[in-house]
Amino acid sequence: MKVLVLNCGSSSLKYQLLDMENENLLAKGLCERIGIDGRLAHQAGDKEYKADLPMPDHTAAVRFVLDALLDKGHGVIKSIDEVQAAGHRVVHGGEHFSGSVLIDEKVKKAIEDCCDLAPLHNPPNLIGINACEKLMPGVPQAAVFDTAFHQTMPPKAYLYAIPYELYEKYKIRKYGFHGTSHRYVAERAAAFMGRPCGSLKLITCHLGNGASVCAVNGGKSADTSMGFTPLQGLVMGTRSGDIDPAAVSFIMEKEGMTVKDVEGMLNKKSGVLGVSGVSSDFRDLEKAAEEGNARAETALEMFYYKVAKTAGEYAAALNGADAVVFTAGIGENSVLVRKKICSYFTHLGLTVDDDKNNCRGREVDFSTAGSKMKALVIPTNEELVIARDTKSLLA
């Protein structure tokens, strides 16, 4: 079975075509600048195709994706009928979805109802779904939610200490994100350790541009650092993470900012970028810090400290942890970030082997043989989870 995986952003669309007989990646690519002009970058094995193409909307982008997949030169299928299902990443499923589902009108309505909760993400996700319905009529489609894995959190973890009526009226609570990634790396970590996931307490750290930590108890999310929106929690590339809410109204008043201004500032101009004034990219920050840039050094220290403190909270939430797991762009690639974060866990009995830690993008246990707790690198693969869920929904 060939499954097309789609991740639609406001002006972008990432895709992968997977053959689920053997979980082989057949092709992948990215459409950018949708609604502006349009650019496609497509890759199938060692064949690459890049083109500027008119993409006034997501339907046009999906059409170019299908054309690229069908192309005689860089394509991988002969007929569109070979695509037997589409799986969509949907950011927000609210309290409606605790797992992946096949899409029908009711599901679309529920995704639409969550647009208020994720105004930047859910509308393009829905547009992508509608575009596929139009261009691949009759092909089953599945929705895989970033929030679903975290629906197992208990009320003590997901409620905010604000008047309860606000939860009842508007569903204001912690939802958590990156659920597909946390679920995948927790399962892979268990397989790597040769233990059933159900018997393990794990702290999974998804450290990319957006970053979150999750307490995974027996394969289920017990708590996570992102909240009502992906702005809460860790210091991120450009997002502030936790901040005293009173500081927000103070800044708005002093700087004459509107709600939109301040939201933009907290989402796009804060985090390690805001503190360092250098970059949101950890490669640039590590280089600048090495060259003596004090603010870049402080931004990095803040990042390590916040991840470590949050993981420490989760060690308490889980009453101990068998392993800390690192994933995503920074977690998989930065030897320094992993070393610095783990240096806060010696009280939990974690000792790290620097030689083993000196690796990138592959599954590794970099704790020492005598360490009481394990430290793992597990590369994430959200697209594979989406394709697997889609396949199993159709079985």
CA–CA dist 87, 143 (Å, integer): 6
Which of 100-108, 124-132, 208-216, 220-228 is the region at the interface with ligand ADP (rule: CB under 6 A)? 208-216
Report the residue number whose CB is nearest to ligand ADP.
329
Main-chain dihedrals φ then ψ at residue 352, nearest 5 degrees: -110, 140
Q: Whose Cβ is closer to ligand ADP: residue 209's or residue 368's?
A: 209
Closest among 68, 46, 44 to 55, alpha carbons compared: 68
Q: Whose Cβ is closer to ligand ADP: residue 66's or residue 300's?
A: 300
| Cα within 13 Å of Cα(384), Cβ side | 14
Question: What single string gives the DSSP state of each residue in 238-260?
Answer: S---S--HHHHHHHHHHHT--HH
CA–CA dist 391, 2 (Å, integer): 9
Among 9, 124, 210, 233, binds ligand ADP (CB under 6 A): 210
Count, residues near ligand ADP per rule CB under 6 A: 12
Among 122, 151, 333, 371, binds ligand ADP (CB under 6 A): 333
Binding status of residue 209 toward ligand ADP by CB under 6 A: yes
Binding status of residue 282 toward ligand ADP by CB under 6 A: yes
DSSP 320: S
Residue 334 CB, shortest distance to ligand ADP, in Å, is 4
CA–CA dist 236, 233 (Å, integer): 9
Residue 104 falls in the annotated catalytic set: no
Q: Whose Cβ is closer to ligand ADP: residue 124's or residue 208's?
A: 208
Residue 211 CB, shortest distance to ligand ADP, in Å, is 8
CA–CA dist 393, 227 (Å, integer): 28
Return the residue matching tokens 């040769």: 194
CA–CA dist 34, 29 (Å, integer): 14
Residue 327 CB, shortest distance to ligand ADP, in Å, is 8
- SS3 of residue 218 by DSSP: coil
Amino acid at 354: D
Residues 192, 194, 200: CA angle, nearest 5 degrees: 90
Residue 47 CB, shortest distance to ligand ADP, in Å, is 23
Binding status of residue 281 toward ligand ADP by CB under 6 A: yes
Binding status of residue 267 toward ligand ADP by CB under 6 A: no
Q: Whose Cβ is closer to ligand ADP: residue 285's or residue 350's?
A: 285
Q: Whose Cβ is closer to ligand ADP: residue 199's or residue 343's?
A: 343
Residue 234 CB, shortest distance to ligand ADP, in Å, is 12
Binding status of residue 11 toward ligand ADP by CB under 6 A: no
Q: How far is CA 341 from the centre of its chain?
A: 20
Annotated catalytic residues are 146
Task: Name the site residues for ligand ADP (rule: CB under 6 A).
Answer: 208-210, 237, 281-283, 328-330, 333-334
